[in-house]
Amino acid sequence: MSEENKVQPMKEVRITKITLNIGAGKNQEMLKKGIKLLEKLTPIKPVRTTAKKRIPAWGLRPGLPIACKVTVRKDAEVLLKRLLVAKDNILLEKCFDTNGNFSFGVAEYIDIEGLEYDPDLKIMGLEVAVSLERPGYRVKKRKIAPKKLGKNHVISKEDAMKFMQDKFGVTIE
């Protein structure tokens, strides 16, 4: 068998999770709207995130809910396809980090396939962070005897961009 025809199952890139985030600051009304939007978008219940530091200029104090997020692991590919349609299947090269993960923002939720305008929510956007991994990443995360991954097994920026182009037909600018 030639080198090109060999299938290496341990080199296969896959989506680990998608994290959707809506920041509201100290505006609690906006936070409630963000939670409602995330409930419409995914079947998972959103979690409120709180401020860690006191920033008097912004009116923030520790423990104040300032954002909401949801992490999707099951059916992540289906959700990602819907979110990429909102971006016209175009991602910038700077969206990808050196570890192969990427993130992008959706300016208006009405661009997402399957969601219609809700007068209660008005117009709001969200941030999307996608984590990629290969089989064998458990070695790095396990509790007993965690080890470092080999440099050939780590996902590079180029690997992540190629995965998105091949699997989802994304154009990278």
SS3 94: helix
CATH architecture, domain defined by 13-172: 2-Layer Sandwich (3.30)
CB atoms within 10 A of CB 4: 5
Per-residue pLDDT for the chain (173 aa), expressed as one digit of tens each?
Answer: 456 657 788 889 999 999 999 998 888 899 999 999 999 999 899 999 999 999 898 888 899 899 999 999 999 999 999 999 999 999 999 999 998 899 999 998 888 888 888 888 888 889 999 999 999 889 999 999 999 988 889 999 999 999 999 999 999 98
How buried is 1 (Cβ within 10 angstroms: 0-12 exposed, 13-18 middle, 19+ buried)? Answer: exposed
State the virtual CA torsion across 88, 93, 99, 102 in degrees, nearest 10.
-20
How many angstroms separate the Cα of 61 from the Cα of each of 46, 66, 107? 22, 10, 28
Whether 37 and 109 have beta carbons less than 8 Å apart is answered as yes
Q: What separation, in Å, do the N-terminal and C-terminal C-alpha atoms of the chain show?
A: 35
Whether 161 and 77 have beta carbons less than 8 Å apart is answered as no
Q: pLDDT digits over 141-173, tens only?
A: 999 999 998 888 999 999 999 999 999 999 998
DSSP letter, residue 30: H
Range list of H helices, the chain: 28-41, 76-86, 138-141, 157-168
pLDDT in the model for residue 60: 84
